[in-house]
Structure formats: C-alpha cells, structure tokens
C-alpha cells in the first residue's frame, strides 16, 4: 500500500536577525551620544543635568547647531544616500574627541557645537535609516532601541568617572567605525534614485534570501508603487503639502506631538533637586540616580512593550503618567510649603513622571518617520526637527522669567495640562503603525468625506 503525502510548502520569508543587527549597529551612536551628554551642560531633552537656573552659552550653542544641522543632514541623505549619512554621524562623533580631551572653556563650547551637530544628525538620519531597513514586524523594537541606547549612555554617569567616560566614547567611536561593514544602503533610497537592481540586491541581503526570491521581488514592487504614488503628485512644496490632505494632516499631527513633547516640563523635572525643593533635602542624591534610572526604565519599557503594543498607546500612557504626576508634584512645590509628612509621595511622583517621559520622549520622532512616505520623510523630518529645536531654544530662555512670575508650582500645573492634551490627542488622532504598511497607515489618516 502506497501513501501519498501532499502539502503546501510556505515560501521562505527570510530571517529578521540581519535587520535587527543593522538596527543595533545603527543605534550605537545614540549610546555614544548618551555617554557624551553626561559631560555636557544640557541634554537633548532640554533638561539640564547640571542646573536649570541659568542657560549657559554652551547649551544655547548645542540647541542652535542641532536645529541648523538637521535639514542639512536630511539634504545629504536625500542626495548622497542613507549609508553616507550614517558614516557622517560616526565621523562627527569622532571629530568631537579632539575638544573632548581638551579641558578648557573654549574647547567646551566647541564640544557642545559638535554635540549639537551630531544631535541633529542622530535624530534625523538614523530614524530614517532604521525605519527603511526594518520590516514592519520588527520596526517597533528596532526603532525604540534608540531610546534604550541613549538612556543607557546616561547611566554610565553612575558607574564611571568623567575621564573613564571620555575613553569609553573614544572606544565606542572606533567600534562604530569597525561596525560600518554591516551598514548597507537603504533599498528605499535606491528605489528613489531608480536603481532597482541594486535595491533588489540590498533587500535580499537584509532578508537573507536569494535575489530571485518571490518575497524580495514583492518587496521591491511595493517600494516602486510607493515611490510612483508620490512622484505622480506635484513636487514637494508648501502648496503641494497643503493640497495633499494626507500629508497635511500628518504634518499637523507631527507638529503637535513635537510641540507637546518639548513643552511637557522636562526643562524642570529632569532637575531632581528643583522638583523636590520643598522637601529640604541636603544633597541626598547628588548624582540624580532617581532621574537617570527612572528614565532608563522608561526606555526599556517602551523597547519591550513595542513588540505587542502600538506606539500610539505607549505614547498615550507616557502622557497620562506625566500629566498625573506633574499635577501631584505641583501640589508639593507650592511656595512657603515645607513637607513634613508623606514625604515619599513627591519622590514617587517624580519617579513616575520621569518614567513616563522615558517611555515617550522619542516616540514623536518615530511616529513622524512612520507616517510619511520615504520619498518625502527625510525632508519633512528635518523641517520638523528644526521647528522643535526653535521652540526648545525659546522655551529654555523664557522659562526662568515665566517661572519667576507665576511660580514653579503653577508651571507644573501648566505642564500637566499640556501632557493631558497630548494624551487625548495621541489616543484619538495618532494612527496605528504597528505591523502596518505605508498604505495601511495612510488609509487611517485619509479624511472620510462628509455625506451630502
């Protein structure tokens, strides 16, 4: 008796470990930037790890250079390729080693200038590159990896001396240069330039499949269709943005998310001593262990939860935590109030506040990259990044005067209101992006016409 066994064999879709490896290597500069930030007078979040009473020139230079360099970096990756942009990030961080080891005021200003330049490149080039080289299934974890990387860099402040951190930065830059062999050109960019054969080869390399595999060809056809859909519209301009309602609504959403995140209160609550001023603590935590560890925990939470939870819900959670804890801290920072009982409440509230910020701080960048077609996403991201740095610069220079006029507790109430608005906006306006293609995301953003 002969038995015939038949069945369908699923076509190999490739492995994901190569894309994860590329995302990890591309995220290494964020860890380097995090370590470098511990030596600077300010972080990329406008929160000052040293003090928030005054805004030194070095902080102004950092934010200003970052805002100027963002669009320039986006122009470079649109003209010369995403791979070139990743090389530039490591090159700038390597160049910053020169003023890093020269301990004087002039070299400190130069160092902050290089840090601003690398910051502008980090938050425009790398999110674009990682988004384009990651499949939808792993895009959540590969893009939120940047949050864990940069906060892990901050944690080095707790275990290493400033001199040790300088040598660590030098070692990391050398490691980044050696790992550049892993970095391949983005297939999306190659499709933009009409290099379809090369794009097919890069897709095959990333997926670990033969070039003639059906999934490789299918992915290439999807990229071609996305590119043609944008090229069939008018050339990118303010007028074409306004006329294309999907782009216009996406742009407004990105502007709101970046504005609320800049104005969420990080300028004050990352200063642990100031947030807990009414407790009359005398240097009980000079290294800001509470702030750094809570922010790191928030980044890890986002990294893990992004596997099963959509980015919009994680962002909403972060805003809700910040709104509730900001309101609580506002009560405990009232003028002429000394807290004698339940002193753990403001401390716990600050931990929750920073945790919520750690959960959400980079999600506006990630969502912005996800909702725009790859033909225009770099240009849009560079413009929005410059906008965010402009309001950040205005915010840090005007905060002191507003605080002196209304009081720090009133500012916490205002920040709580802004975070509450951000939570509602994220929940009802931001589209689902987890495991979604560009076309599926655009369908959520597309306006439904009202019935006649």
Residue 444 placed within a domain: no
Say if CB 439 and CB 373 are below 8 A apart. no
Residue 289 placed within a domain: yes
Flag the least confident range among 1-5, 54-58, 251-255. Answer: 1-5
Cα angle: 307, vertex 310, 313; to 5 degrees: 125
Contacts of 143 (CB under 8 A, 6+ apart): 23, 127, 130, 131, 134, 306, 366, 369, 370
CA distance 82 to 74: 9
* Pair (267, 118) in one structural domain: yes
Q: What is the pLDDT of residue 52?
A: 44
Residue 123 pLDDT class (50, 70, 90 cuts): very high
* Pair (220, 255) in one structural domain: no
Average pLDDT value for residue range 273-294: 69
Say if CB 42 and CB 59 are below 8 A apart. yes
> What percentage of the chain exceeds 70 in pLDDT?
87
Q: What is the pLDDT of residue 314?
A: 96
> In terms of residue numbers, what domain contains 209?
189-232
Domain count of the fold of the chain: 2
**Residue matched to tokens 């240097």:** 283
* Pair (105, 195) in one structural domain: no
* Pair (101, 223) in one structural domain: no
- Run of H or E including 357: helix 344-360
Say if CB 63 and CB 69 are below 8 A apart. no
**Angle at which helices 57-80 and 82-95 cross, to 10°:** 150
Average pLDDT value for residue range 176-201: 91
Q: What is the pLDDT of residue 208?
A: 87
Residue 284 placed within a domain: yes
What tokens were used for 340? 């004698």
* Pair (228, 310) in one structural domain: no
Answer yes or no: is pLDDT of 410 > 50. yes
CA distance 129 to 184: 10
* Pair (193, 168) in one structural domain: no
Residue 12 placed within a domain: no
Q: What is the pLDDT of residue 278?
A: 57
Read off the pTM: 0.89
* Pair (222, 327) in one structural domain: no
CA distance 172 to 118: 14
* Pair (104, 207) in one structural domain: no
- C-alpha pair distances (Å), 263 with each of 245, 394, 398, 407, 421: 27, 11, 12, 16, 11
User: Which of 170, 201, 232 is the C-terminal boundary of a domain?
Assistant: 232
User: Which of 206, 232, 258 is the C-terminal boundary of a domain?
Assistant: 232
Residue 24 placed within a domain: yes
Residue 11 placed within a domain: no
Residue 449 placed within a domain: no
CA distance 157 to 169: 12
What tokens were used for 171? 């070692």
* Pair (227, 161) in one structural domain: no
* Domain CATH for 328: 1.20.1250.20
* Pair (271, 353) in one structural domain: yes
* Pair (240, 110) in one structural domain: yes
Q: Give 445 or 56, the one with higher predicted confidence.
A: 445
Q: Quote helix, strand, coil % in the chain, to nearest 5.
A: 75, 0, 25
* Pair (228, 298) in one structural domain: no
Q: Give 351 or 231, the one with higher predicted confidence.
A: 351
Other CB atoms closer than 10 Å to residue 205's CB: what's the count? 16
User: Which of 171, 206, 232 is the C-terminal boundary of a domain?
Assistant: 232
Residue 4 placed within a domain: no
Answer yes or no: is pLDDT of 339 > 70. no
CA distance 129 to 420: 32
Nearest CA to 345 among 327, 360, 358? Answer: 327
């Amino acid at each position: 008796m002969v038995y015939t066994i038949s069945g369908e064999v699923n076509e190999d879709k490739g492995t994901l470990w190569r894309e994860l490896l590329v995302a990890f290597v591309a995220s290494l500069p964020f860890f380097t930037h995090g370590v470098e930030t511990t030596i600077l007078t300010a972080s990329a979040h406008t929160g000052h790890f040293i003090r928030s009473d005054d805004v030194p020139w070095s902080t102004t230079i950092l934010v200003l250079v970052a805002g100027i360099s963002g669009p320039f970096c986006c122009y470079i990756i649109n003209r010369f390729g995403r791979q070139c942009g990743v090389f530039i990030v490591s090159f700038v961080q390597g160049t910053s080693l020169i003023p890093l080891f020269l301990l004087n005021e002039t070299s400190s200003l130069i160092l902050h200038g290089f840090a601003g330049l690398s910051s502008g490149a980090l938050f425009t080039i790398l999110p674009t590159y990682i988004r384009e080289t990651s499949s939808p299934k792993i895009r959540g974890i590969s893009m939120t990896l940047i949050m864990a990387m940069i906060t892990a860099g901050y944690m080095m402040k707790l275990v290493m001396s400033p001199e040790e951190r300088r040598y660590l930065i030098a070692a990391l830059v050398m490691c980044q240069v050696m790992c550049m062999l892993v970095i391949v050109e983005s297939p999306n960019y190659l499709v933009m330039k009409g290099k379809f054969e090369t794009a097919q080869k890069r897709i095959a390399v990333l997926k670990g499949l033969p070039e003639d595999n059906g999934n490789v060809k299918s992915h290439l056809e999807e990229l071609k269709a996305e590119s043609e859909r944008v090229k069939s519209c008018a050339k990118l301009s303010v007028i074409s943005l306004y006329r294309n309602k999907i782009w216009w609504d996406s742009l407004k959403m990105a502007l709101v998310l970046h504005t609320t995140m800049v104005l969420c209160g990080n300028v004050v609550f990352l200063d642990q001593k100031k947030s807990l001023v009414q407790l009359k603590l005398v240097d009980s935590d000079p290294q800001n262990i509470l702030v750094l560890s809570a922010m790191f925990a928030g980044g890890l939470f986002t990294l893990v939860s992004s596997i099963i939870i959509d980015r919009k819900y994680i962002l909403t959670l972060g805003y809700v935590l910040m709104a509730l804890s900001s309101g609580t801290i506002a009560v405990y920072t009232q003028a002429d109030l000394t807290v004698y009982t339940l002193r753990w409440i403001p401390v716990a509230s600050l931990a929750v506040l920073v945790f919520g910020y750690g959960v959400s701080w980079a999600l506006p960048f990630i969502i912005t990259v996800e909702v725009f077609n790859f033909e225009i996403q770099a240009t849009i991201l560079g413009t929005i990044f410059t906008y965010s740095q402009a309001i950040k610069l205005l915010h840090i220079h005007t905060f002191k005067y507003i605080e002196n006029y209304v009081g720090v507790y009133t500012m916490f109430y205002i920040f709580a209101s802004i975070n509450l608005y951000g939570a509602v906006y994220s929940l009802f306006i931001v589209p689902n992006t987890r495991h979604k293609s560009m076309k599926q995301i655009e369908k959520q953003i597309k306006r439904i016409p009202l019935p006649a």
